Chain A
Amino acid sequence: MLTRLISRSTTQSRWQTRFWILALLAMLLFFIGNVPDSSSGIGFVDAAHASETVAEEAVELKGAPKLKREDYPQLLGMSSRSIVWVIAQMHLYLAAFVLAVPLFVTVIEWIGVKNRDDRYDDMAHEFMKVSMTAYSLTALFGGTLAFALFLLYPDFMGYMMRVFGGQTLVYAFLFFAESAILYIYYYSWNSLRYGNKKYIHLSLGILLNVVGTTLLFIANAWATFMMAPSGVNEAGAVTGNIWEIMRGPLWNPVNLHRFVANIAFGGAVVGAYAAYKFLSAKSLELKAHYDWMGYTANFIAILAFLPLPFAGYWLMAEVYAYSQQMGITAMGGILAWLFIVQAVLIGTILLAANYYLWSGMSRCDGSERYRYLIKYIAVTLVVCFLIWVTPHTLILTAKETAALGGSHHPMLGPLGIMPAKNIAVNLMLIATFLSFQLYRRSDKEVTVAWAGLGNALLVTIYVVAIANVIFAGIYYGYFTNTVYKVGSSVMQVVSTLIVIIAGVTIDSLMFKGAKTLPSKWGQVSNRAQYALFALPIAFTWLMALMGYVRSSVKTHWHVYTVMKDNSPDNYIPAIGHAGNMMTIATISFVLIVLFIFWIASLSESRQVKPVASA
């Protein structure tokens, strides 16, 4: 089996290395082709120098190229944007997955060491096994994306290379480092398993995550530079150093949002793997193992998902602060309807995650104490979901408008604006956290002396937080001026965060020395596993949807206000077309994920040696 594993890894490494060498060569060629002369002020040293002497040398600075339609090569008459769109989306999905898995794997490995429980270690190792196959595919799509970009948008890529200069080589070097550390981390798992050697292995895991997260942040700098350029003047000429170019106004919000979202996405994908293995398992022992694995993956996905709307809120606030026009394009124009679709997808995620938790409570008899609460949580989720998906402005015919008495529904109209949505989102998050907390409490009997006070405090915090969210939304949202309406949404967010932080803290203190009730792992219903499949599919669609929004807010610019897009695709694609593109990307990724699961399972199968015939 080891030989097969090594053989497989060698093949993966070979392909990956080939593609990355080719991609690197392509990047080098463009980099060399665009190496600045000493007067252009580009590159690490020259850029810093240019920053100091910009006034004197402004005339000599080289701005962004002004492209014409014929500067964009066409491939077989196909839309260049559509080609790059799908490839970039696939690369992003896979990269998000492979960068996220080691993050929680290292934490699980650490928990295994701390609790001296080999089950955690085995589970972490298995999560990494799934990620390894995806890693090769990430590299393949990354290389293909680089080729597609240089082939179809050569001048734009030339400009980006000129702006980012040597930083792109740092990215390439880090990718090599990531590959090396990843393979060492995975293949040394059993040889560095116990004693002090385990700490060497954990250190490798931490190093892997540092490198991986740095890669993510570097790539984010390219995307956020295109949305909100910094370190360049109005003509696109570089006036700042690489740090000034990277730390644009949207860089950190996107860093945080993607970092957290990747963990949620990675957790959801390995949760689907656990569900796949659970459904195909024959023995109760295997079912128990994958049931526990699915529970852990869902735990990771939901824990990372709960603060995600707040990171998204910060990102959108920064978008508005940077350019009100850009913010309005995203949330008040053609793209506004996509936030309704976003609500549907997030609602699906929350309903699926809650359903999984409720089903999972059946593993433990101790859950009887809390089951009566499920119906209230379900009603809250459904009502809030319906409020969230209520549109503000309806697309109506003249006859329908006349029948309605206007473009807004008299009763449902108020539910279409942000205060109602903010109430709905926060209540859904609080309800989901309550499901999560009840699940965690199901197999425990608290024994601390202050349990009565702790329970009273928890109930009160929930009730007051819910009241505060509703009060802030209704009173400031509908009865005061706009600035108070916007400002009060922070009160709502903090109320929800207080519930989450207080819930985790109080429970952790109360669970010290708690009596653990038996859980029947492996006896959860198959329906719960289908919920685990729903999660990554909804996440995948959601990423494609919001990626489209994020990219489209640039409208007809390659780099917003600095470099115009004059290609045949220099417009915001229609929602129908975008929907088709997202669906293609989502279905393709789901098929790839199934392939990854199948490949990961192959290493466990062994052909029985044929008996020699006499």
Chain B
Amino acid sequence: MNDSGKSSPKDWLIAIAVTLVVFYMMDQGIMAVQGLPLNFNMSPAQ
């Protein structure tokens, strides 16, 4: 987004870290809820 608010390297680091954690936990959680657990590296645990 090339808006008036320029993003600093710190902004990017926070954004990337937060988003990756949220999506990683979402993936693990959604599959676990369905009875399809995943390993740490996202491969099927069953």
Query: Which of A455, A460, A488 is within 8 Å of B5, CB to CB?
Result: A455
A-B contact pairs, 15 of them (CB 8 A): A369-B2, A441-B1, A441-B3, A448-B5, A451-B4, A452-B5, A452-B6, A452-B7, A453-B14, A456-B15, A460-B12, A476-B44, A490-B34, A491-B31, A498-B23
**Secondary structure call for the A interface:** helix
The 4 closest A-B pairs by CB, nearest first: A451-B5, A456-B15, A456-B7, A455-B1
Q: Kindly state the interface size class of chain A when it binds its partner.
A: 35 or more
* A490 touching B30 in the complex, CB below 8 Å, given contacts A446-B4, A464-B23: yes
Q: Say yes or no: A498 contacts B26, CB within 8 Å.
A: yes
Min CB gap A490→B, angstroms: 5
A372-412: which have CB < 8 Å to B? none
Interface locus among A37-45, A342-350, A478-486: A478-486
A472 to B16, CA, bound (A): 19
Min CB gap A442→B, angstroms: 11
* A454 touching B5 in the complex, CB below 8 Å, given contacts A461-B19, A464-B19, A480-B44: yes
A457 to B43, CA, bound (A): 27
Q: Is A459 an interface residue (CB 8 A)?
A: yes
Q: Say yes or no: B5 contacts A491, CB within 8 Å.
A: no
* A487 touching B3 in the complex, CB below 8 Å, given contacts A457-B18, A464-B23, A494-B26: no
* A452 touching B8 in the complex, CB below 8 Å, given contacts A460-B15, A460-B16, A480-B44: yes
A155 to B19, CA, bound (A): 59
Min CB gap B36→A, angstroms: 4
A491 to B26, CA, bound (A): 8
Q: Say yes or no: A487 contacts B36, CB within 8 Å.
A: yes
The listed residue with most B CB atoms (<10 A of its CB), out of A370, A480, A487, A490, is A487
Q: Is A71 an interface residue (CB 8 A)?
A: no
Taking CB atoms, residues of chain B closer than 8 Å to A460 are 12, 15-16, 18-19
A185-223: which have CB < 8 Å to B? none
Taking CB atoms, residues of chain B closer than 8 Å to A369 are 2-3
Taking CB atoms, residues of chain B closer than 8 Å to A481 are 44
Residues of A within 8 A of B (CB): 369-370, 441, 445-448, 450-461, 464-465, 468, 472, 475-476, 480-481, 483-484, 487-488, 490-491, 494-495, 498
Taking CB atoms, residues of chain B closer than 8 Å to A370 are 2
Given contacts A450-B5, A455-B7, A487-B36, 5 further A-B contacts (CB under 8 A): A370-B2, A446-B3, A453-B7, A468-B23, A484-B44
Taking CB atoms, residues of chain B closer than 8 Å to A445 are 3-4
A438 nearest CB neighbor, chain B only: B1
Q: Say yes or no: A491 contacts B3, CB within 8 Å.
A: no
Min CB gap B20→A, angstroms: 6
A454 to B14, CA, bound (A): 10
Q: Kindly state the interface size class of chain B when it binds its partner.
A: 20 to 34
A491 to B8, CA, bound (A): 30
A369 to B44, CA, bound (A): 43
Taking CB atoms, residues of chain B closer than 8 Å to A454 are 5
Taking CB atoms, residues of chain B closer than 8 Å to A483 are 36
Taking CB atoms, residues of chain A closer than 8 Å to B16 are 460
Min CB gap A553→B, angstroms: 25
A487 to B22, CA, bound (A): 19
B8 nearest CB neighbor, chain A only: A452
Q: Say yes or no: A465 contacts B23, CB within 8 Å.
A: yes
A449 to B26, CA, bound (A): 29
Taking CB atoms, residues of chain B closer than 8 Å to A456 are 7, 11-12, 14-15
Q: Say yes or no: A484 contacts B36, CB within 8 Å.
A: yes
Q: Say yes or no: B19 contacts A457, CB within 8 Å.
A: yes
Query: Which of B12, B34, B43 is within 8 Å of A487, CB to CB?
Result: B34
A472 to B19, CA, bound (A): 17
* A446 touching B5 in the complex, CB below 8 Å, given contacts A480-B44, A484-B44, A490-B30: yes
A484 to B3, CA, bound (A): 40
Taking CB atoms, residues of chain A closer than 8 Å to B8 are 452
Per-residue CB contact flags for chain B residues 31-44 toward chain A (1 = under 8 Å, else 0) read 10010100000111
Min CB gap B26→A, angstroms: 6
Min CB gap B44→A, angstroms: 5
A484 to B1, CA, bound (A): 35
Min CB gap A330→B, angstroms: 22
A370 to B2, CA, bound (A): 7
A498 to B15, CA, bound (A): 14
Q: Say yes or no: A459 contacts B15, CB within 8 Å.
A: yes
Q: Say yes or no: B27 contacts A468, CB within 8 Å.
A: yes
Taking CB atoms, residues of chain A closer than 8 Å to B11 are 452-453, 455-457
A96 to B3, CA, bound (A): 40
A481 to B44, CA, bound (A): 9
Taking CB atoms, residues of chain B closer than 8 Å to A453 are 7, 11, 14-15
A452 to B6, CA, bound (A): 5
Taking CB atoms, residues of chain A closer than 8 Å to B5 are 446, 448, 450-452, 454-455
Min CB gap A193→B, angstroms: 39
Q: Say yes or no: B15 contacts A457, CB within 8 Å.
A: yes
A457 nearest CB neighbor, chain B only: B15
* A459 touching B30 in the complex, CB below 8 Å, given contacts A452-B11, A453-B14, A495-B23: no
